[in-house]
Amino acid sequence: MSKEIREHWDSRTAFILAAIGSAVGLGNIWRFPYIVYKYGGGAFIIPFLVALLTAGIPLLILEFSLGHKTNKAAPGAFAFFNTKLKWIGWAAVFIGMGIVTYYTAIMSWSMIYFVKSFSLGWGTGTENFFFNNVLQLSESPSHIGYIVPVIFIGIILTWIWIYFSIIKGAKSVGKVVYITVICPWIILLILIVRGVTLPGAMNGLAYLFTPNFTALMDPEVWINAYSQVFFSISIGFGIMIAYGSFLPKKADIVNSAFIIGLADAATSLLASVAIFSALGHLALKKGADVANVVTSGPGLAFVTYPEIINLFPIGAPILGALFFAMLLTFGIDSAFSLVEAFSAAAVEKWNISRAKMNGIIGIIGIILGIIFTTQSGLYWLDIVDHYLAVYGLILIGIFECLAVGYIIKPEVIRNYANEQSDFPIGKWWDFMIKFFVPIVLIAIMIWNIWAEIANPYGGYSRSALLVGIGALVISFALGILLSINKKRTV
Amino acid sequence: MPISAWIMMSTGFTITIGGIIVCVIIANKKK
């Protein structure tokens, strides 16, 4: 165990901003609006908020309580109750680390676009620019091709940014987030004002928010609401356990979890207004239906939105730069929180300095990230993301709930959280952790596997998908391996 | 935009942003 005195957040605001920064990421901007549109429009807000209150916030309370009670990062927190549970914590932080290796590639693309914004350097053929000029995309995952130098430089710069953001753990993160969380919110508000004042904006918003209440009868809508909440609030990677462990002894857990969960949801809703008002304008200019211009994921950020930026009547380069600055700042705190969760656990285990550990993590991260800077990088990113961020997160969520629900006992955690909080949680929380959340997660898992059997993910070959499964298996295997080392206690 | 769309959008913002405001008020009262 580390002999260093554990660092703490400078203030409650710093903790809340750091946790919001971790939760709010690119998914809020490029996934949530599309999911709302696809699954019932405005009616989707009902299952989404229900999922947030019945699963998202209860899991946030669980992770914060584990970290705060034990004063440890994820592996040590589980080991505190039962050493046989330690592997859950290690697997969680390894999955998080796997995600950072490709997240940095997305950050790198955003950096390229940020620079290009000032001259609208993507031109009028935004699709061609993204796939052929930036990614230089090969024809399939097996055609790896060469490393694209500018993307590689971008991931190095991102790792340097991460390194300095977490250089002093909670102390530096607590300062950085005042900029990297508040600035993108301000930019988002600017983009909303710009978006809703564009011709055609209301048409886009009508497309998004007009409710289709019959969709609420469809289980797929509810599964997607719960999935969106799980994937959005950074649970299952050990981040919130580490962040909870940096709280001073006298700190609130329950109220903070509500603020963080609600802020993540509010940011998603704000992003939906910014994106769909702009899509409405694009549809008007193209003389097309809004449904024909709707996209999600990298296609939205790097193909469709640049096309919209080209159409802004005034200040297009500045608004373009603001959009990509928003992606970079929303993205960086998610990235460094994943690294911090691993780093905090690794420092506890190997008892070496944080700076040295972060340097080692950065070098390994750059090496592992090389595959995502190649011409086939987008394919591999998509495949690895599907297995680590979807299946990995679901599995860790299930194991966390089962560990707390049946081994640690939920009342132990609930009583602890209530002692620490502005307002208490009732026994409903025990039911959620013991039964409801694991059942929902298992349902999401079965749903995904079922879909996968019918159609291999993304139309990729089964051998390519095996690599993604391999990344998931390796994360769990490393977690278990580190847990059976009996020389150390953490 | 139809009235039903306005209602759903407002509901989303009221619950999330309103919820945050309530939580912050509680936090400040407990200080």
Chain B residue closest to A273 (CA)?
A: B9
Q: For chain B, which residues lie within 8 Å of any Cβ of chain A, measuring from their own Cβ? A: 1-2, 4-9, 11-13, 15-17, 19-20, 23-24, 26-27, 30
Beta carbons of A404 and A62 less than 8 angstroms apart: yes
* Domains with residue ranges and CATH for chain A: 3-483 (1.20.1740.10)
pTM score, whole prediction: 0.92
User: Which among B1, B13, B24 has the least Cβ separation from residue A206?
Assistant: B1
| Cβ distance of A210 and B6 shorter than 8 Å | no
pLDDT in tens, B1-31: 899 999 999 999 999 999 999 999 999 987 6
pLDDT in tens, A284-311: 999 999 888 888 889 999 999 999 999 9
Give the C-alpha separation, A175 to A149, whole Å. Answer: 32
Task: Decide if pLDDT at A282 tops 90.
Answer: yes
Strand runs (DSSP E) across A418-466, as ranges? none
Give the pLDDT confidence score for residue A1 in this predicted structure: 43
Q: What tokens appear for A257 in the block? A: 């979890």
Q: What is the 3-state secondary structure (H, E, C) of A99-157?
A: HHHHHHHHHHHHHHHHHHHCCCCCCCCHHHHHHHHHCCCCCCCCCCCCECHHHHHHHHH
Give the C-alpha separation, A380 to A463, whole Å. Answer: 12
Task: Decide if pLDDT at A84 tops 80.
Answer: yes
User: Which among B2, B16, B27 has the least Cβ separation from residue A262?
Assistant: B16
Give the pLDDT confidence score for residue A451 in this predicted structure: 87
Give the pLDDT confidence score for residue A2 in this predicted structure: 44
Give the pLDDT confidence score for residue B29 in this predicted structure: 87
Q: What tokens appear for B15 in the block? A: 């619950």
Mean pLDDT, chain A, rounded, equals 92
Chain B residue closest to A255 (CA)?
A: B23
User: Which among B4, B20, B24 has the least Cβ separation from residue A42?
Assistant: B4
Q: Quick one: average pLDDT of A334-356?
A: 93
Task: Decide if pLDDT at A91 tops 80.
Answer: yes
What radius of gyration do chain A's Cα atoms show? 22
Q: Quick one: average pLDDT of A113-140?
A: 95
Q: What tokens appear for A67 in the block? A: 């970290």
pLDDT in tens, A238-251: 999 999 999 998 88
Give the pLDDT confidence score for residue A455 in this predicted structure: 86
pLDDT in tens, A1-14: 444 557 889 899 99
Chain B residue closest to A250 (CA)?
A: B31
Give the C-alpha separation, A463 to A110, whole Å. Answer: 30
What ipTM score was computed for the predicted complex, to two decimals?
Answer: 0.96
Cα dihedral across residues A50, A56, A60, A62: positive or negative: positive
Q: What angle do CA A417, A420, A423 make, to 5 degrees?
A: 80
What amino acid is encoded at A261 in this protein?
A: G
| Cβ distance of B6 and A209 shorter than 8 Å | yes
Give the A:B interface size as CB pairs under 8 Å: 73
Q: Quick one: average pLDDT of A404-433?
A: 94
Chain A residue closest to B22 (CA)?
A: A259
| Cβ distance of B8 and A41 shorter than 8 Å | yes
Q: Which residues contact A222 (CB under 8 A, 6 or more apart)?
A: A47, A51, A216
Give the C-alpha separation, A379 to A135, whole Å. Answer: 11
Beta carbons of A418 and A253 less than 8 angstroms apart: no
Q: Quick one: average pLDDT of A334-348?
A: 94
pLDDT in tens, A254-281: 999 999 999 999 999 999 999 999 999 9
**pLDDT class for A453, splitting at 50, 70, 90?**
confident
Task: Check CB contact of A300 with chain B, cutoff 8 Å.
Answer: no
Chain A residue closest to B24 (CA)?
A: A259
Residues in A 8-37 with any Cβ partner in B closer than 8 A? 12
Q: Percent of chain A, pLDDT > 90?
A: 79
User: Which among A12, A42, A252 has the least Cβ separation from residue B8?
Assistant: A42
User: Residue B9: its chain A contacts at CB < 8 A?
Assistant: 42, 45, 205, 209, 269, 273
Q: Which of A251, A345, A264 is nearest to A19 (CA)?
A: A264
What's the Cα-to-Cα distance from A167 to each of A11, A217, A354, A362, A364, rounded to whole Å? 18, 49, 7, 12, 17
User: Residue B11: its chain A contacts at CB < 8 A?
Assistant: 45
| Cβ distance of A255 and B27 shorter than 8 Å | yes
Give the C-alpha separation, A133 to A122, whole Å. Answer: 9
pLDDT in tens, A134-188: 999 999 999 999 999 999 999 999 999 999 999 988 889 999 999 999 999 999 9
User: Residue B13: its chain A contacts at CB < 8 A?
Assistant: 266, 269
Shortest Cα distance, chain B CAs vs residue A2, angstroms: 32
Task: Decide if pLDDT at A490 tops 70.
Answer: no
Give the pLDDT confidence score for residue A485 in this predicted structure: 63
